[in-house]
Amino acid sequence: MRMDALVRNEPQRRLAPWQARRAIQLLTEATSTACSVAALAAACGLSRSHFANAFRATTGLPPHKWLLLHRIRYACEMMERTGHPLAEIAQNCGFADQSHFSRTFRAVIGSSPAAWRRQRRSGVTAAELGSAASGQ
């Protein structure tokens, strides 16, 4: 069997607008709790694999990655609006602990949550921090 015979020329199936809204609603509500792909798929009337592929085709991200990024955005909002400790923010955003939050935050944003918060509070931009560190 030739390999090109296995390649489909069909466009990837996307979620219907109502399915995308429902999945995003469930994921948004699950910011501080776990939400399984099976539960999301059931809410959209799809199999797990079909849902995961359609979600990725619709949003550009797999469900777990979308949720992680949503949690990071929510954590950024909390760090800007409140003075809550990072451990409390991590818990409120659904991370296992502050260490998990810090590792994920650094991977996505490029700095630690504490440094990001200090930078936002001081009004110093990342470019200004870089030139100050290099002595320019």
The residue written with tokens 């809410």 in the block is: 43
For 84-99, write each residue's pLDDT tens digit. 999 999 999 999 999 9
Query: CA 53 to CA 68: how far, in whole Å?
Result: 18
Residue among 72, 136, 85 at smallest CA distance from 114:
85
8 A C-beta contact, residue 129 and residue 69: no
Find out whether 57 and 8 touch, Cβ atoms under 8 Å.
Answer: no
| Per-residue pLDDT reduced to its tens digit, 58-79 | 999 999 999 999 999 999 999 9
Question: Closest Cα to residue 20, out of 65, 55, 49?
Answer: 55
Contact call for residues 60 and 43 (beta carbons, < 8 A)? no
- The predicted model scores a pTM of 0.77
Instruction: Yes or no: say if 62 and 56 are a contact pair by the CB < 8 Å rule.
Output: yes
